[in-house]
Amino acid sequence: MDFDPASLRFDANGLVPAIAQDHATGEVLMLAWMNAEAVSRTLTTGRVTYWSRSRQAFWVKGETSGHTQRLVEMRIDCDRDCLLMLIEQAGPACHTNRRSCFYTALRAGEERIILDPMA
């Protein structure tokens, strides 16, 4: 692999934001964070692996829940400080059991829940 994760522009904590988008529907499912090693592991294994800021540990998405993310393609933005991952999501991406974490919309100045948890 010629691509070097160290060539990305990480923030002061050594992280970049990574957007997960359903490769088939285009739905944006979540945003989490990756350090260089998480990027490398994601590319090598094809299983999306984040860095958990709260736990300060690698987080193989779905490792405990089974709601895995298979990497279809990783894209880099023009500033090299953000990643877009086209993925195949097994089940819900959100810990609330919803397909996407972005289930709260602002409509007429109020918050509205627009997605139900998956059955």
- List residues binding a copy of itself (CB under 8 A): 1-3, 17, 19, 21, 25-28, 30-31, 43, 73-79, 82, 84, 94-96, 98, 101-107, 109-111, 114
Find tokens 């100045």 and name the residue: 109
Shortest reach from residue 111's CB to a copy of itself, in Å: 6
Shortest reach from residue 13's CB to a copy of itself, in Å: 10
Dist. CA 31–CA 116, nearest whole Å: 19
C-beta separation of 112 from 105 below 8 A: yes
Contacts of 109 (CB under 8 A, 6+ apart): none
Phi first, then psi: give them for residue 108, nearest 5 degrees. 55, 40
**Residue 27, CA distances (Å) to 21, 39, 78, 96 in order:** 6, 22, 22, 17
Shortest reach from residue 68's CB to a copy of itself, in Å: 19
Shortest reach from residue 96's CB to a copy of itself, in Å: 6
